[in-house]
Amino acid sequence: MISRTRLHGLVFVATATAIVMWLSFNFSANLAARGMTIDFGFLSAPTSFPIGESLIAYSSGDTYLRALTAGLLNTIHLALSSIVLATVFGIAVGLAARIGHPLLTSAAKTYVEFTRNVPLLLILVVCATAVRGLPAPRQAWILFDGVILSSRGLYLPMPVFSGGWALGIAAVILASTTSVVWKWSLRGRSRLGSFPFASRISLTFCVAGFASLVVWICLTTSMDWPRLTAFNFRGGWSVTPEYLAMMFGLGFYTSGFIAEIVRGSLAAIPKGQSEAAASLGLSTLLSLWLVQAPQAIRLTLPPLANQYLNLIKNTTLAVLIGFPDLVSVGNTALNQTGRAIETVSIYLLIYLSLSLITSMIIRRLERRAQVVKL
């Protein structure tokens, strides 16, 4: 005798399968009727368009796959820096709301209401207009020697290692030997109560190695200073106005939500906890830090994951202010090749993967933050 729940399950699976089959049949029939095919072959074809900024070397003539990868890395780069910014500001504002000082509380409240109630697009457009309104390169603001702010972005001097690959390899080898030696020496210490002779020698060796590495870096490093050419600055390390606008806009907007999550989670901790902390003589700050925050983290993580997912998806608005994220580069690729369905399915797959990875990471953190049952 089949149970009712199982019967419902079977009906559901059958219906879902039928609907999916019907949709895919329609999809392919409609494609055939319009004479369209699906072909991802364009990914290995050479491009003929530029990308404004890229973390990997890219120039026209590289493959579409590389162009899309450059866009994806820009998306991840932007998402990560915005997440850091939003989290730092969010936690700060959330804590400020709980400290109990009336001025701080109302300031935090205003901040939250403002960021949460202004549409993100508006914030981004305002940010973009603000950074573009900076003076032209020839009238740029020189904040410090080599730190230049203009409508072309923020330029900083950049250290250049001429040591190259050898330097990186040496650093990796040194770091791994150090960690092995360190563990070994700790093990020795717990057994003998003091550093054994062998570990002392290897420690000396490690310290000497690090010292020579530092000297080597200093000797082989030169600074690349930004300098003014006919129109723009060249050289140095630069951040474009579009990147700045996106990072601040997304960070600012999301921090309001995060602040509210932090405040709410702290408020959800039973009052007895803070009263107990106070009766032990802990100050408000210490009580927040040592007693309330560790408990609140468990409540914070799930809604925080939602905010991170939203932020990652909101990076696609970059296309409106000209930051070459995945969608912006993909739209150009789509236009050059006419491969709309393929490009859009690549977007879907990538944003789905980014979201799944983010929630996986947060779920791990949640597991670590769980109360240990005795």
Binding site for another protein (CB under 8 A): 4-5, 8-9, 11-12, 15-16, 19, 22-23, 26-27, 29-30, 33-36, 48-52, 60, 129, 132-133, 136, 151-152, 229-232, 234, 241-242, 319-322, 324, 328, 331-332, 334-338, 340
Please say which residue, 295 or 331, places its beta carbon nearer to another protein. Answer: 331
The secondary element (H helix, E strand) that includes residue 32 is: helix 4-33
Taking the complex as a whole, the smallest distance from the CB of residue 17 to another protein amounts, in Å, to 11
Taking the complex as a whole, the smallest distance from the CB of residue 28 to another protein amounts, in Å, to 11
Tell me the Cα Rg of the chain: 27
Contact yes or no for 232/152 (Cβ under 8 A): yes
Orientation angle between helical segments 340-369 and 293-314, nearest 10 degrees: 180
Please say which residue, 161 or 231, places its beta carbon nearer to another protein. Answer: 231
Please say which residue, 50 or 159, places its beta carbon nearer to another protein. Answer: 50
Taking the complex as a whole, the smallest distance from the CB of residue 50 to another protein amounts, in Å, to 5
Taking the complex as a whole, the smallest distance from the CB of residue 15 to another protein amounts, in Å, to 6
Q: Which residues contact 130 (CB under 8 A, 6 or more apart)?
A: 245
Q: What are phi and psi of 101, to 5 degrees?
A: -75, 125
Can you list the alpha helix ranges (DSSP code H) found in the chain?
4-33, 64-99, 102-117, 120-132, 164-192, 197-220, 241-267, 271-279, 284-286, 293-314, 318-321, 326-337, 340-369
Please say which residue, 294 or 338, places its beta carbon nearer to another protein. Answer: 338
Please say which residue, 34 or 373, places its beta carbon nearer to another protein. Answer: 34
Residue 256, sorted as left (phi over 0), alpha (psi -120 to 50) or beta, turns out to be: alpha
Taking the complex as a whole, the smallest distance from the CB of residue 166 to another protein amounts, in Å, to 30
Taking the complex as a whole, the smallest distance from the CB of residue 332 to another protein amounts, in Å, to 6
Contact yes or no for 163/216 (Cβ under 8 A): yes
Please say which residue, 19 or 172, places its beta carbon nearer to another protein. Answer: 19
